[in-house]
A and B are shown apart, each in its own frame.
Chain A
Amino acid sequence: MSMLKIGDFKANSCHGMSRRSFLTASATAPFWASAASASGQVVPPRTGKAKSVIFVFLWGAPSHLDTFDPKPDAPAEFRGPFSTIGTRLPGIRFSELVPRLAARNDRFSLVRSNISLDGGHPGAGTVATTGYRENPEPVQPSFGSIAARHFGEDEFPPYLMLGKGVPRDVVRPIKGYGGGRWGKAHDPFMIDCDESGKVNVPALKVLKGLSPERLQDRSSLTRALETIRKSVDDSRAEYWSTTQQKAVSLLTSPKALESLDLGRESEKTRNAYGQTSFGQSLLLARRLAEKEVPYIHVNWSEYVEALTPNTDFGWDTHIHNFDLLPNRHCPIFDRAFSALLDDLEERGLLDSTLVCCMGEFGRTPRINKRAARDHWPQCFFSIWAGAGIKPGRVVGVSDRTASQPVTDPVKPPAVGATILDQMGINSIVRSELDVLPDGEVIHDLV
């Protein structure tokens, strides 16, 4: 069963000539094998507890009241129709829609007092991924780009984004997904994973006609790349060059190819995550964390819109909040994210992998006129687990309607500072990089 789609051809996962050709090609292509070594960059030692970060982005913004911060005693126009259930922690209750995570919350910590600075999706998306507003420009580099710049290239691109594309709404993508003021060279490298676990590397689509056999011929490859490079608009040349270099590096690395091949996982493991694009993407993230890829960003969807033609079912439930959450989103999320925590723990990876999961904001505590919930940047949740994070904690308390934090408001730069600190990118390094100047670590988590 072919699981890895690269450009215009597929590599068999376990046997067959395609894969053999691939590996042969990579063994004879040292020129492309390591961008870091090629550039002479010294990769800094991994001094932090977190060798990898898996940032799970619930794009579209899930309702905090209907998931991890229910308010069963709030007036009816706020609390919603779902019951609450006990969890592993005394006195802490979740919505009935996330039972698997309720049974595991002694393994992760929950922040119930996140706040955002923007009430619109693209703007809040940038706030969530960079810690700062899109405007005034320039856009700040994303947390992943900071990690990538610090650690540099290794066998893998250091900042991978798993999903169909850069998070966006029907109008435009977010600006803060990548390098921002540092330029597109620090953008994430995109990888797509579908519900059956087939992995696609979009950047390699331009290498049309390049077979594994042709990759063995360096001069042929160089000519092909040069032809493509000439056809690229000057404004995109830097991005193209960097992305293509990363793509070919991946293509010619046995270690990388192996990690991208979900066919190497047991059926039991793959099933545990569920046959959904999100579930299989989390499994792919775990495989990449095994290889200590510094920053792996997993998108729930490309589009925020929950129910809009040609979009992929984000969490933006202005309508049907009380239908979509129980019938689709929560069961998928509860299963896949629980599987990720279990898998990381069983493999001994949770000590070296930091997992952070959040949306760009919460949803209105007061139920709207469409029997659903709108945007609410004043208060929402995030989930934290793994390297450097003390499990079983609940940080921050929201008020009786989950409208405002009563204690410990967590500002957006604190998310980045906490993540990066656990990676060894401490305040001194961040200062040298001129990023997150006001980012304070969430000390109750670490």
Chain B
Amino acid sequence: MTSFEMVPGMEKPLTLICSQPAPAQATYRFLVVCRLLVLLPALFSMETCEGGTPDESSSNDVPAKKKNVGAEKRLTFDGHLKHDPVFVESGKAIVYTSLEKFNQLCLMKVGFPVNGETEPVRFHGAASTSELMATFSKDDRVYAYLRNNGNLHFEIVLEDRGAGKSVSYNPGGGFAGVRNISYAPDGTNVIFAFPNQNGPQQIQSLDRDGKTVSLLTDSNGVNVCPSYSRDGNQIVFSSSRDGDFDIFTMNSDGSNPVNVTQSPGMDTHPCFSPDRKKIAFTSIRKGNYDIYLLEIASRKVQRLTSNPEVDDYPCWSPDGKTVVWVAERNGKRDLYSRKIE
């Protein structure tokens, strides 16, 4: 587990904050004031950059070009809690999870790009329990989602639209929750996160028949949020095996895990760009949930959002030109997009 010094709302870590005895408080306060004065312009900049261009990441990262992204564009307008958007229909629509009733999560679908006429609609109109985290094969022929089918219990539902078949995978009795599913682009299997018997949570693979499960990770800690690359050869995921959540990649058979971020603070919800050269992910390394882009070859990190509210759940359009994510603006959670050059 890593720890970092951050007075939230400030862009730079505060050092000398921890374990000060009481007599040192005056010195501490003096240092805080000095640091605040130094950072005031940066703070002001952060507060005024809503909807503007992103800035570069921490001083350890190479600054990114400031004009390689467009302004953020709002795609939905109801403000409901949302998560896990994914592109479908070759980029012409987005399916996401939304809190449509106070006690029910629903899969929703909205056209893309938004043309003023497309209203989000229920993806499964008749759903009577929470459904979430839809994931699709590249051709949309098969898809899967999680269904809350009991007390603290989630199953995977695998739908084959071509064959008109639906099968489910029940992870076991009692409290059992499958989490974070991603369909292989070729539709052969779905990967997900689930705890093994002794505590750590692993990435596992389930064949499309819903019967055969195999383990892809075998590490300490919590492995979450696996996501396939568009060619199906790689998986990106988040893991706390080394302490806090960082981003890892591995081959689709689970071999060759590589840690690609080592930042203090949680890095999570990663997804590959379609060309597999970049990873979009969420990080709270600077004290707030923001979207970052990692260039895999150089390890350069670019901060895509710098809003004092929550930015989370990034996903790429199939052409790699747009990132869509869930942004909290004025206390409301909606889908937003931004062009990436």
Name A residues whose Cβ lies closer than 8 Å to a Cβ of B. Answer: 72, 76-77, 79-88, 90-91, 93, 96, 99-100, 102-103, 164, 170, 194-195, 267, 270-277, 279, 305-313, 316, 318-320, 322-323, 326-328, 331, 335, 367-372
Which residues of the other chain, B, contact A322 by a CB distance below 8 angstroms? 201, 222, 224, 240
Which residues of the other chain, B, contact A318 by a CB distance below 8 angstroms? 152, 175
Known: A90-B19, A90-B20. A275 touches B8 (CB 8 A): no
User: Can you name 9 A-B residue pairings with CB atoms under 8 Å?
Assistant: A72-B3, A82-B1, A96-B284, A99-B6, A102-B6, A103-B7, A275-B80, A310-B129, A372-B195
A320→B176 CA distance, assembly (Å)? 9
Which residues of the other chain, A, contact B264 by a CB distance below 8 angstroms? 83
Instruction: Tell me if A311 and B6 are in contact (CB < 8 A).
Output: no
Instruction: Tell me if B331 and A308 are in contact (CB < 8 A).
Output: no
Does B17 interact with chain A (Cβ within 8 Å)? yes
Instruction: Tell me if B288 and A99 are in contact (CB < 8 A).
Output: yes
Which residues of the other chain, A, contact B5 by a CB distance below 8 angstroms? 85-86
A69 to chain B, nearest CB (A): 14
Across the A-B interface, give the 8 residue pairs with the lowest CB-CB distance, nearest first.
A81-B240, A99-B8, A90-B20, A371-B201, A319-B177, A371-B195, A86-B17, A271-B331
B154 to chain A, nearest CB (A): 7
Does B18 interact with chain A (Cβ within 8 Å)? yes
Instruction: Tell me if A308 and B152 are in contact (CB < 8 A).
Output: yes
Does B123 interact with chain A (Cβ within 8 Å)? no
Instruction: Tell me if A370 and B176 are in contact (CB < 8 A).
Output: yes
A404→B182 CA distance, assembly (Å)? 40
Which residues of the other chain, B, contact A194 by a CB distance below 8 angstroms? 102
Does B232 interact with chain A (Cβ within 8 Å)? no
Which of B63-71, B88-96, B143-151 is found at the contact surface with chain A? Answer: B143-151
A85→B22 CA distance, assembly (Å)? 19
Instruction: Tell me if A79 and B1 are in contact (CB < 8 A).
Output: yes
Q: Which residue of B103, B129, B265 has the most chain A CB atoms within 10 A of its CB atom?
A: B103
Identify which of B14, B99, B312 contacts A327 (C-beta below 8 A). Answer: B312
A103→B199 CA distance, assembly (Å)? 33
Identify which of A88, A308, A335 contacts B7 (C-beta below 8 A). Answer: A88
Which residues of the other chain, B, contact A270 by a CB distance below 8 angstroms? 331
Q: Which residue of B3, B245, B312 has the most chain A CB atoms within 10 A of its CB atom?
A: B3
Identify which of B17, B102, B312 contacts A277 (C-beta below 8 A). Answer: B102
Instruction: Tell me if B268 and A326 are in contact (CB < 8 A).
Output: yes
Chain B: interface residue total (CB-CB under 8 A): 71
Instruction: Tell me if B8 and A102 are in contact (CB < 8 A).
Output: yes
Instruction: Tell me if A271 and B332 are in contact (CB < 8 A).
Output: yes
A110 to chain B, nearest CB (A): 16
Instruction: Tell me if B148 and A307 are in contact (CB < 8 A).
Output: yes
Q: For residues 281 through 314 of chain B, which have their beta carbon under 8 Å from a beta carbon of chain A? A: 284, 287-289, 310, 312
A270→B331 CA distance, assembly (Å)? 8
Instruction: Tell me if A275 and B79 are in contact (CB < 8 A).
Output: yes
Does B233 interact with chain A (Cβ within 8 Å)? no
Instruction: Tell me if B177 and A320 are in contact (CB < 8 A).
Output: yes
Q: Closest residue of chain A to B180, judged by CB?
A: A323
B22 to chain A, nearest CB (A): 8
Identify whether the interface residues of B are mostly helix, strand, loop, or mixed.
Answer: loop
Known: A327-B312, A367-B199. A308 touches B28 (CB 8 A): no
Q: Closest residue of chain A to B132, judged by CB?
A: A307
A297→B310 CA distance, assembly (Å)? 28
Which residues of the other chain, B, contact A93 by a CB distance below 8 angstroms? 3, 18
Known: A102-B8, A309-B130. A83 touches B19 (CB 8 A): no
Does B81 interact with chain A (Cβ within 8 Å)? yes
Which residues of the other chain, A, contact B177 by a CB distance below 8 angstroms? 307, 319-320, 370
Which residues of the other chain, A, contact B331 by a CB distance below 8 angstroms? 270-275, 279, 335
A368→B176 CA distance, assembly (Å)? 12
Which residues of the other chain, B, contact A319 by a CB distance below 8 angstroms? 152, 175-177
Does B186 interact with chain A (Cβ within 8 Å)? no
Does B52 interact with chain A (Cβ within 8 Å)? no
Does B138 interact with chain A (Cβ within 8 Å)? no
A95 to chain B, nearest CB (A): 10
Does B188 interact with chain A (Cβ within 8 Å)? no
Instruction: Tell me if B3 and A371 are in contact (CB < 8 A).
Output: no
Binary flags per residue of B201-225, CB closer than 8 Å to A gives 1, else 0: 1000000000000000000111010
Identify which of B81, B175, B201 contacts A276 (C-beta below 8 A). Answer: B81
Identify which of A82, A87, A368 contacts B244 (C-beta below 8 A). Answer: A82
Does B109 interact with chain A (Cβ within 8 Å)? no
Binary flags per residue of B3-30, CB closer than 8 Å to A gives 1, else 0: 1111111000010011111101100100
Instruction: Tell me if B81 and A371 are in contact (CB < 8 A).
Output: no
For the complex with contacts A72-B3, A308-B151, A319-B175, 5 further pairs of A-B residues with Cβ separation under 8 Å are A83-B3, A83-B244, A90-B18, A96-B265, A272-B331
A50→B272 CA distance, assembly (Å)? 54
A2→B31 CA distance, assembly (Å)? 50
Does B330 interact with chain A (Cβ within 8 Å)? yes
Known: A90-B18, A91-B20. A85 touches B6 (CB 8 A): yes
A357→B306 CA distance, assembly (Å)? 30
A88→B6 CA distance, assembly (Å)? 10
Q: Closest residue of chain A to B5, judged by CB?
A: A86
Which residues of the other chain, B, contact A103 by a CB distance below 8 angstroms? 7-9
Which residues of the other chain, A, contact B151 by a CB distance below 8 angstroms? 170, 305, 308
Which residues of the other chain, B, contact A316 by a CB distance below 8 angstroms? 152
Which residues of the other chain, B, contact A76 by a CB distance below 8 angstroms? 1, 220-221
Q: Closest residue of chain A to B269, judged by CB?
A: A327
Q: Closest residue of chain B to A86, judged by CB?
A: B17
Instruction: Tell me if B266 and A83 are in contact (CB < 8 A).
Output: yes
A409→B302 CA distance, assembly (Å)? 47
Which residues of the other chain, A, contact B333 by a CB distance below 8 angstroms? 275
Instruction: Tell me if A102 and B7 are in contact (CB < 8 A).
Output: yes
A340 to chain B, nearest CB (A): 13
B10 to chain A, nearest CB (A): 8
A279→B1 CA distance, assembly (Å)? 31
A306→B151 CA distance, assembly (Å)? 9
Q: Which residue of A90, A194, A195, A306 has the most chain B CB atoms within 10 A of its CB atom?
A: A90
A271→B99 CA distance, assembly (Å)? 18
Instruction: Tell me if A368 and B9 are in contact (CB < 8 A).
Output: no
Which residues of the other chain, B, contact A272 by a CB distance below 8 angstroms? 331
